[in-house]
Structure 1
Amino acid sequence: MNNILKNLDIVVKETGTKIPMRSTDGSAGFDVFSSRKLVLPSKTVVTIKLPFHFVGTLDEKLEVRLFVRSSFGIKKKLRLVHQYNKNIDYLILNVEDKNHVINVINDGEKDLIINKGEHFAQFIFCEKEAKPQEMKLMLVPTEEMKKHTILTSSIEETIPYFFEYTLEEDLVFAPNEQKVFATGYRSLINENTWTAVKIHNDVKEKLILANQTGVIDRDYAFTSNFGHCFVALVSLSNTELKISKGTKLMTWSTEKYYVPEKEIKSNNKRLGGIGSTN
């Protein structure tokens, strides 16, 4: 395997805190577990100290990207922020820092509680200038398709293994509304890679994904729903927002990921969809 980091380890700060780890053998992201109970007031930016740090060095061509766990972004409306701006795809962690601090906002109407031991975020060791890796975007089987209202769209491969997702119906959002849609697609990728779904630059000032970047692991394609990909779109407008048919809405691409040689491995197998790993 050529995705092994030989000179980097992950260390937790306190006894009793779970070390970040990949939840399944097909996951790209290392889950971040809270070391204590956190209470996040509604509509308030809160600073969180992450309960781990890195020991060793990381190749200068690589970086560590931090994402909100999908279930927290979509179901609990937790967002990462940079300088009070939530219109970002992810945060980058500096492996040389011994105290990682991030800012988040609870976009919900009620206080959000993150209990001790819950995994609310994840990070992936990625290439800074990642070349798109092999990926097949395929329609899910008819029996899965019939269970959902599919967002009418088209997908075009604009460069090898880089896809643009174009809206083929008008969408209207109430002020700051979040809507969840089924795409009708599944992503088939190789080992040691993951698929990133991001808001297209054409609408980045108007919409975000609720989880800011959709992280699709390789083993998700083989779950009970055939790896059916869903997206949660959030309007950034304080007034009614219309996104017109023909708008390029999202991009899909696949990247390689890396893992430390001494990682703690999981024997879990993924069974369900968003938020199902534990």
Structure 2
Amino acid sequence: MSSPSLPGGAWNLGDSTVNRFGYGAMQLAGPWVMGPPADREGALAVLRAAVEIGVTHIDTSIAYGPRVTNDIIREALHPYPPSLLVATKVGGRRDAQGGWPTARRPEELREQVLDSLTTLGVESLDLVYLRMGDAQGPRAASLAEPFEALVALQKEGLVRQLGVTNVTAEQVDEARAIAPIVSVQNMYNLAHRHDDALIDRLAADGIAYVPFFPLGGFTPLQSDALSAVAARRGSTPMAVALAWLLHRSPNILLIPGTSKVAHLRENAAGAALTLAAEDLDELDRIGRPTGSAAG
């Protein structure tokens, strides 16, 4: 059930109903998503506060830390509330230099799934995304072999639901031809609108779309139009950017990350901002210039 304290209402993420305002755990690891956080007690507090305000969708990955965010999630929330869905990702690992090399061979995927089960303390993972592409973004390539390996793990009962991340629209279609997916997770925000057509198509089919870097990631969103709308609404550019995503399509699920309880609450309040038609028209021109084609 949706919480009155969270914006956006709810969406059916496969066989689970989650609040559209969720939480991404990446920032709970150390600098550059490596090692432990400087303030572990603060990280635990953020997760507990998220659940207290009604978050029912938390996103993580065995690569964050690595293993760090999973360990913190387990310490903070296990045994998990029945309403909570924890999504994770496989298909990549971390190297000693902090890089994100791919790891998509069937045996590597099995190892990552088993490691995720152990660190999260569960017998079956709620939702597992296959991560394609690389640190620079999606790359055109077949995902059949790694995705079929995940389907096999699903048939073993180790994974409940499947998704894909860092993918092209063609890879989404390829995955769906192999087995059902419940969600796609790609980079998308006001300034990066390449998935517009895909979002609309997924919405029509009841499939969730989860934008990562909803606020721009390591380069925060900057736009005169965004700042103008924020000033007009007496709010902040980041609040407007989150609210716009909830307005954009009902299948968009937010997972903004933070390591501070106060910032978590600010994000939730910001996403609840009401945007007028004139605001939406102005914002729509940021990432999709007049006359350009969607998608």
- Does the TM-score normalized on the shorter chain lie above 0.5? no
What's the TM-score once normalised by structure 2's chain length? 0.25
**Structure 1 or 2: larger strand share?**
1
RCO comparison, higher one (Cα < 8 Å, 6+): 1
**Structure 1 or 2: larger helix share?**
2
